[in-house]
């Protein structure tokens, strides 16, 4: 369970997700959103999971956080359909459409959660933290169909090769 903040721009963030994550994170994002809503008394199609996970706590903290994650899930779905030549949306999109207009109190976009081992965390810079986490924990399986790997990823892999 996570929200990979690989760029603050939502469309770019989705494109930077590796192949394994573009579909998986549509489901996880929808699960996080449903859990946040369930905790606030709404009824959603998905049961709650990981109710105290930092990403769930972040999503429920503000309507702006919730909306950001909704938009990322849609962008990830678009990327998933593009990379895998799918004409139909990910199954979780039907759930997302059902819940996206449920309202939480707003207080602006709050700092993103950094749900990762301490060694990767960068206070105040979730993009750098999640990119380091991707390089450190996801590089061995990360591929990008129909896309070039992000430049920051290629540069990081090159630095890791030189260091070993």
pLDDT digits (tens, 9 = 90+) for 27-65: 999 999 999 999 999 999 999 999 999 999 999 999 999
Q: How far is CA 104 from the centre of its chain?
A: 19
Is the pLDDT at 3 greater than 80? The verdict is yes
| 95/92 Cα distance (integer angstroms) | 5
pLDDT digits (tens, 9 = 90+) for 135-158: 999 999 999 999 999 999 999 988
pLDDT digits (tens, 9 = 90+) for 55-100: 999 999 999 999 999 999 999 999 999 999 999 999 999 999 999 9
What pLDDT, on a 0 to 100 scale, did the predictor assign at position 106?
A: 87
Is the pLDDT at 164 greater than 90? The verdict is no
Per-domain residue ranges of the chain = 10-163
CB 62 within 8 A of CB 7: no
Question: What are the tokens at 113?
Answer: 């959660």
What pLDDT, on a 0 to 100 scale, did the predictor assign at position 112?
A: 98
List phi, psi (to 5°) of 39: -65, -25
pTM of the model: 0.96
What pLDDT, on a 0 to 100 scale, did the predictor assign at position 76?
A: 98
């Amino acid at each position: 369970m996570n929200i990979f903040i690989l760029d603050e721009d939502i469309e770019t963030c989705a494109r930077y997700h590796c192949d394994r994550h573009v579909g998986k994170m549509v489901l996880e994002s929808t699960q996080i959103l449903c859990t946040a809503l369930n905790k606030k008394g709404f009824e959603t199609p998905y049961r709650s999971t990981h109710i105290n996970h930092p990403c769930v706590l972040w999503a429920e903290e503000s309507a702006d956080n919730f909306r950001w994650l909704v938009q990322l899930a849609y962008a990830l779905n678009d990327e998933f359909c593009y990379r895998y030549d799918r004409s139909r949306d990910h199954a979780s999109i039907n759930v997302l459409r059902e819940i996206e207009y449920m309202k939480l109190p707003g207080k602006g976009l709050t700092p993103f959660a950094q749900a990762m081992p301490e060694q990767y965390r960068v206070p105040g810079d979730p993009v750098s933290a999640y990119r380091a986490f991707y390089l450190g924990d996801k590089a061995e399986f990360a591929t990008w169909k129909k896309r070039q790997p992000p430049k920051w990823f290629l540069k990081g892999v090159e630095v890791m090769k030189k260091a070993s």
